[in-house]
Amino acid sequence: MNDITEIIFGLLGGLAIFIYGMNLMSECLQKAAGEKMKSILMVEEK
């Protein structure tokens, strides 16, 4: 029973870190792409 709980907590911990990393990367990509998109749209409007 002890081995099973270690595996479950390991999987849940790994999944939590993975989801946190994906969320962080998503936010950074949105910030980077947002500024680039604004500059592209401003050039095309003129």
Query: What's the rounded Cα separation, in Å, for the pair 42 and 39?
Result: 5
Query: What's the rounded Cα separation, in Å, for the pair 46 and 39?
Result: 11
Residue with tokens 């993975």: 18
pTM, two decimal places: 0.63
Residue with tokens 């998503």: 26
Confidence tier at 14 by pLDDT (50, 70, 90): very high
Task: Quote the radius of gyration of the chain (alpha carbons, Å).
Answer: 20
Confidence tier at 44 by pLDDT (50, 70, 90): low
